[in-house]
Amino acid sequence: MSVSSPAPAPAPVPASAGVSGPTQAELLDFVRRTAADTELIASLPLDPEGRTWVRLAGPGGSEAWLIGWPPGTGTGWHDHADSVGAFVAAAGELTELSLAARLPTDGWKTLELSDGVDRQRRLPAGQGRAFGRHHVHEVLNESPDRHAISVHAYYPPLPQIRRYSRSGQVLRLEQVERPEDWQ
């Protein structure tokens, strides 16, 4: 993995984003507008083996990232704790696997998932989505030969990321990461 220095983000902060922070819709609007900035997207250094990222200035105190995905890479199952978020594929195509189930937020290590909770979305360039707190998902670049690039924003700035392993219908909490682990 490699980390790049911060880059400025385009677009003004929405007036409504000031007091209580940006909404999911405002974050989605921000990542869509940022993903359309072809000069910014082209400036991301890409690594053939590991994801690369640049931190961006997000709207209303949010945390934002420009992320490069080599062919065949992914995040693994995770959530963003108490943050809401949005992301858009800016180049290439991403796949999001997610769970349509409300999970307990604390006090568990292993859960058996019900049938029918799995969701899959293909997100070609220009497509994305917003999500609420405790959204458990995995994001993948399934292309065998093409990088993908995406823009992500979270509010409040990520207090933690919980990482999970999955075997069939069993989801297991494996690790809790804090900002100092990825910044």
Q: Which residues are annotated as a binding site for Fe cation?
A: 78, 80, 137
Quick one: tokens of 173?
A: 């909490």
Q: How far apart are CA 181 and CA 160, in angstroms?
A: 9
Q: Which residue has the tokens 């999911």?
A: 24
* Proportion of the chain in helix, strand, coil states, percent, rounded to 5: 15, 40, 45
Longest dimension (CA), the chain: 45
Do 69 and 46 meet the contact criterion of CB atoms below 8 Å apart?
no
Quick one: tokens of 55?
A: 């931190």
The phi and psi torsions of 31 (rounded to 5 degrees) equal -70, -35
Binding site feature residues: 78, 80, 137
